Amino acid sequence: MYEQLKLDNQLCFRLYAASRLVTQAYTPFLSQLGITYPQYLVMMVLWEQDGQPVNDLAKRLHLETNTVTPLLQRMEKQGLVSRKKGRKDGRQVIVSLTAEGRALERRAADIPAQIGSRMVCARLTPDAVPELFATLDEMILALQQ
């Protein structure tokens, strides 16, 4: 067998497994809020800056608009967001938080700390996180090109 084809030699597998397990760790917290992990990501973007076009949300989440649109439709049915045509450009759809969506932010405020405490290990201390973020950001940028 080729050494480069062994699963233990694959960075992509470690990233996949870590991503899946992190998402799984969020599930109990998010189920209490009645949202999924992808919905949580949308909410975080809107909590940072409300009233964004669908295209901007999709770019921020590194997703295609055709992936984000059904997600937003479900969130609208849940009463978390509203979608309205843009004033300047009627082709644009602006996504805004509802009062319920804004109130969810308070309930979600402790989630990052609770998840973060589960991820701390000998090599990944709170002080090491900024360097990990920088490395992952560089990797994401390189893969987008």
User: Alpha carbon of 136 to those of 4, 40, 126: distances in Å?
Assistant: 22, 20, 16
Axis-axis angle for helices 11-33, 111-119 (nearest 10): 150
pLDDT digits (tens, 9 = 90+) for 21-79: 999 999 999 999 999 999 999 999 999 999 999 999 999 999 999 999 999 999 999 99
Report which DSSP code applies to 110: T
Beta-sheet strand order (sheet of 93-97): 52-53, 93-97, 81-85
Domains along the chain with CATH numbers: 28-109 (1.10.10.10)
Whole-prediction pTM: 0.92
Q: Which residue has the tokens 């901007």?
A: 56
